[in-house]
Chains A and B, each alone.
Chain A
Amino acid sequence: AQSVAQPEDQVNVAEGNPLTVKCTYSVSGNPYLFWYVQYPNRGLQFLLKYITGDNLVKGSYGFEAEFNKSQTSFHLKKPSALVSDSALYFCAVRLNYGGATNKLIFGTGTLLAVQP
């Protein structure tokens, strides 16, 4: 079965320090991977995606993610965290089931708390 896992419910980091939010996946075939962010009382916002090509993907707000096929991981990273980065982060994988829609399976989310 195709799935995505976020092993950490919460990540705490001090402002200015690098941050990593972990994601691992299990899919058949080549994965399409996504990161979304959700601020309080808001919908999900697209951050970045990996489809093919360079394993390091750059996205919005200074975030990047590294696709690692051997470890089946797609960790989200940022060199220097901001307090305003505090939010709920979701990893997602697109199912390759041949349908016409981009059906996504989401992880359970990781709450990122950046302390000033």
Chain B
Amino acid sequence: ETGVTQTPRHLVMGMTNKKSLKCEQHLGHNAMYWYKQSAKKPLELMFVYSLEERVENNSVPSRFSPECPNSSHLFLHLHTLQPEDSALYLCASSHTTGSGGTDEQYFGPGTRLTVT
């Protein structure tokens, strides 16, 4: 176990549905990340939160809405998705730079999302 959990592991939703992905880390980290992994494409960084503030949004469509209520939890709210949004969504956490921690990110197992 990596100390980063994600729920649900699988999600099938229609284009008009609203759902949320949840990520929780038990590693004492203070930065969290959302990635999208599609087949035969590089891992895409979507959002970065540092100390519960969003510090990066990589031109992600507004149908994806992140929320970071505290340093241990990260959500990705989904609404009116498109079929091309079907992918594996990965959450990761790390220490922030300069905080005395190590550099590597620790990943959760991902949520396999299918949009029908």
Contacts and interface: CB of A to CB of B under 8 A. Distances in A.
Interface residues of A, number: 23
Contacts of B33: 101
A46 B106 contact: yes
Contacts of A42: 109-110
B43 interface: yes
Interface of B: 2, 4, 6, 31, 33, 41-43, 45, 48, 50-51, 55-56, 90, 92, 94-98, 103-110, 112
Interface stretch (A19-27, A73-81, A102-110): A102-110
B109 A101 contact: no
Interface string A30-48: 0010101000011111100
A116 interface: no
B43 A106 contact: yes
B107 A44 contact: yes
A102 B31 contact: yes
Contacts of A46: 104-106
A44 B90 contact: yes
B107 A102 contact: no
A90 B37 CA distance: 12
Nearest to A104: B105
Contact of B107 (A41, A43, A100, A107): A43
A103 B107 contact: no
A26 B3 CA distance: 31
B104 A101 contact: no
Given A43-B109, A49-B104, A101 B90 contact: no
Given A43-B90, A101-B48, A107 B97 contact: no
B103 A101 contact: no
A41 B107 CA distance: 13
By CB atoms of chain A within 10 A, which of B90, B97, B108, B112 has the most?
Answer: B97
A63 B31 CA distance: 27
A51 interface: yes
B46 to A, nearest CB: 12
Going nearest first, the 9 A-B pairs with the smallest beta carbon separation are: A43-B107, A106-B43, A44-B107, A46-B104, A101-B31, A43-B109, A100-B96, A101-B50, A100-B50
